[in-house]
Amino acid sequence: MKSIKERNLPDVLLCADGTRVVSPEQWPRRRAEIDALLSDTLFGRLPNLPFTWRCETESEGDESYQAGKSILRVVRMDVTVGGKPFSWKFFLSLPKRETPVPAFLMLMFTRKLPADTVPVEEICDEGFGFVGFDYQDVTSDDGDFTNGLAALFYPDGRRGEHDGGKIALWAWAASRILDYLQTVPEIDSRRIYVTGHSRLGKSALWAAARDERFAGGASIQSGCSGAALARGKNGETVEKITNVFPYWFAPAYAAFANREAEMPFDQHDLLALAAPRRLLVTSAADDAWADPDGEALGCAAVAPVYALWGLSAPAERADIPDSIALLDGQVGYFRRPGTHCFSRDDWHALFRFFR
Ligand code: GCU
């Protein structure tokens, strides 16, 4: 594997005017620069339109839900963007506890509310609330920008070079749900973590990056354009991802196909936007497309940023075993044997890390 040094990453602490960030007080300025870079060139900016939101409980589970240990609520989110309305549903599963619980907000690949592809009962037994929505209930996973939230932001279905793609829209939806979660008394609003798998791991990272009310985030095998470094990447590349999924990103991103070395950022910059909050990156050993080594090095490359606060991230290693759990720092890294999937083992890493 190529070392961090050999990859010649842009210096995450170096401001555009050449000054170097050496203290937490100086970080917001650099943070704003990185946010602007990624907003212009990677995920894109959503048009700055006024919006409103309100939530309505659609149904509550009965007493037998999770043997009476937890409450179930299906909620409808009604938003307007630029005066035009759209709604989607999400669900909450909250363990009955005396004090507010930390919670995971998950962007999910299932339309079933409550989801049966997520170990929701186990999550609640571990003392976490679970909130989930189907990403395609927000807008479709394709190049059609005339449906759902996309149609509100892009009335004619067309985007400019730096306009936000589908990942930006899914992340925006997560932030609206976070607006609501701040008002839920059963949830500890200071401990809400956003998570997702693969393309939704990329989306979770962008949601955590943009919305500092998230106490942190966990990307599960987010790979290319997620946690994995682009320079020196194995498996999927900027060329491949922008050929097949151009609509996830700002159109401008495609200009860096086969020109990763010229990008003004790399993926450690995305991870840096989570600092100093809690960040967990996970990989599957057989997930060569995502590039587990590139994901681990992304974590190591963000260490200088967390060090501003005296917080730690996993150190760079030349060889990483198929099973490793580095869960003690403010940035965690976890790898398990097996293929691309948000598995039970990954959830166990989340429990340990965010406890
Ligand atoms: C494709 C894509 C990946 C993505 C994955 C997924 O494989 O190339 O970038 O992470 O889909 O979302 O499952």
Q: Is the CB of 236 under 6 A from ligand 1?
A: yes
Structure confidence at residue 115 as a pLDDT band (50, 70, 90):
confident
297-317 residue pLDDT tens = 999 999 999 999 999 999 999
Tokens of 352: 């340990």
Can you list the alpha helix ranges (DSSP code H) found in the chain? 4-7, 27-41, 120-125, 148-153, 166-181, 199-210, 238-244, 267-272, 292-301, 303-307, 344-354
Distance CA 118, CA 148 (A): 25
Cis before 276? omega within 30: yes
Q: Is the CB of 295 under 6 A from ligand 1?
A: no
Q: Is the CB of 124 under 6 A from ligand 1?
A: no
- Statement: residue 269 has pLDDT above 90: yes
286-298 residue pLDDT tens = 999 999 999 999 9
182-211 residue pLDDT tens = 999 999 999 999 999 999 999 999 999 999
* Contact (CB, 8 A) for 200 and 270: no
129-182 residue pLDDT tens = 999 999 999 999 999 999 999 999 999 999 999 999 999 999 999 999 999 999
Q: Is the CB of 266 under 6 A from ligand 1?
A: no
- Statement: residue 335 has pLDDT above 90: yes
**Which DSSP string corresponds to 186-242?**
TEEEEEEEEEEETHHHHHHHHHHHH-TTS-EEEEES--TTTTS-STT--SS-HHHHH
Distance CA 203, CA 222 (A): 9
Mean pLDDT of the chain: 98
C-alpha 246 to ligand 1 mean position (Å): 12
List the Cα angle 127/137/129 in 5-degree steps. Answer: 5
C-alpha 138 to ligand 1 mean position (Å): 19
What proportion of the chain, given as a percentage, has pLDDT over 70? 100
Mean pLDDT of 235-239: 98
